[in-house]
């Protein structure tokens, strides 16, 4: 039970991080500069963006929850569960970011999910 | 799409090569006790190179999100799992089971599908523009 709660937390925090990071980067705007000075200015805009920082915060939560659950659960149990992040992030992209996810893209994400699950098996 | 791939392909390779460097260094120090692990690991440039590559990979990943769809970037970046397995087999001589190779195949097929879905979107956009021009 404890393991299930933490794995759910890992999946949700990781995909929340993805969604917030995207929100933040979309607010910063499309990066098309390659000049170092311009890039520095963009960098400053990125690290002061609240959504970006919250996203990083969620990634930190993911990382620590991952470490905590590994203190009693097997890696071979926890890691395959992380393949669910692909589905959760795509749902977030569709319902929170309003992206158009076509049937073909869903099929691709599902295959990726199965693939990541398989690579985590011994 | 071209710009996204120009950023994401280096991101995938930087991440995978970075992990190979980290794994190489941590296996070298492997036998020491846990509290001694990190101080000993950072003595070698191998660990630093690995860490820098992972940071570069994250910066490229975040940059791509400033213009590309998350629902495209996330599955596209999953290719790194497959590349990790291939590099671990080639450089670290890890034995990869048939199940894992099947996983690599599934990920690759999934990424190909996601690429195709993006191509159709580009076509749709072009048709939108053409329709707009006609008006």
Question: Which pLDDT belongs to residue B29?
Answer: 75
**B35 has a pLDDT exceeding 80:** no
Digit-coded pLDDT (tens) for A97-107:
888 888 889 99
A63: confidence class by pLDDT, cuts 50, 70, 90: confident
Measured between CB atoms, does B99 come within 8 Å of chain A? yes
Measure CA B114 to chain center.
Answer: 15
* Calpha distance B63→B21 (Å, rounded): 24
CB A56 within 8 A of CB A17: yes
Q: Which residues of B touch A21 (CB under 8 A)?
A: 62, 65
Least confident piece of the model among A78-82, A106-110, B70-74, B116-120: B116-120
Report helix, strand or coil for B121.
helix
Question: Which pLDDT belongs to residue B135?
Answer: 44
What's the whole-number mean pLDDT along residues A1-13?
Answer: 89
Measured between CB atoms, does B110 come within 8 Å of chain A? yes
Measured between CB atoms, does B12 come within 8 Å of chain A? no
Higher pLDDT, B59 or B46: B59
Q: Choose from B74, B82, B83, B109 for mutation: most chain A CBs within 10 A.
A: B74
Digit-coded pLDDT (tens) for B82-114:
888 888 888 888 888 888 899 899 999 999 998
Q: What is the average pLDDT score of chain A? A: 87
* Calpha distance A33→B82 (Å, rounded): 31
ipTM confidence: 0.84
Task: Enter the pTM of the model.
Answer: 0.82
Residues spanned by the domain of A43? 2-119
* Calpha distance B24→A98 (Å, rounded): 42
**A19 has a pLDDT exceeding 90:** yes
Question: Which pLDDT belongs to residue B33?
Answer: 66
Question: Which pLDDT belongs to residue B46?
Answer: 81
B109 burial class (0-12, 13-18, 19+ CB within 10 angstroms)?
middle
Higher pLDDT, A33 or B5: B5
* Calpha distance B114→A73 (Å, rounded): 33
Q: Which residues of A touch B121 (CB under 8 A)?
A: 100, 102
Question: Which pLDDT belongs to residue A72?
Answer: 82
Q: How many domains does chain A have?
A: 1
* Calpha distance A107→A111 (Å, rounded): 6
B128: confidence class by pLDDT, cuts 50, 70, 90: low
CB A62 within 8 A of CB A56: no
């Amino acid at each position: 039970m404890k393991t299930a709660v933490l794995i759910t937390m890992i999946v949700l925090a990781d995909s929340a991080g993805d969604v917030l990071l995207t929100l933040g980067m979309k607010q910063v705007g499309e990066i098309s500069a390659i000049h170092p000075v311009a890039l520095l200015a963009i960098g400053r805009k990125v690290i002061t963006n609240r959504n970006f920082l919250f996203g990083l915060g969620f990634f930190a939560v993911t990382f620590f929850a991952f470490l905590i659950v590994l203190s009693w659960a097997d890696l071979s149990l926890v890691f395959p569960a992380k393949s669910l992040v692909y589905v959760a992030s795509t749902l977030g992209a569709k319902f929170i970011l309003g992206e158009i996810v076509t049937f073909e893209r869903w099929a691709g994400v599902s295959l990726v999910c199965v693939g990541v699950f398989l690579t985590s098996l011994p | 799409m071209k710009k996204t791939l120009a950023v994401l392909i280096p991101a995938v390779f930087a991440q995978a090569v970075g992990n190979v460097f980290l794994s190489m260094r941590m296996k070298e120090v492997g036998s020491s006790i846990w509290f001694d692990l990190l101080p000993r690991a950072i003595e070698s440039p191998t660990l630093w190179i690995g860490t820098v590559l992972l940071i570069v990979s994250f910066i490229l990943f975040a940059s791509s999100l400033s213009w590309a769809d998350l629902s495209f970037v996330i599955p596209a970046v999953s290719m790194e799992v497959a590349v990790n397995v291939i590099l671990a087999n080639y450089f670290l001589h890890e034995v990869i089971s048939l199940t894992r190779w099947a996983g690599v195949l599934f990920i690759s097929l999934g990424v190909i599908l996601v690429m195709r879905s993006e191509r159709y979107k580009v076509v749709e956009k072009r048709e939108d523009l053409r329709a707009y021009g006609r008006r």
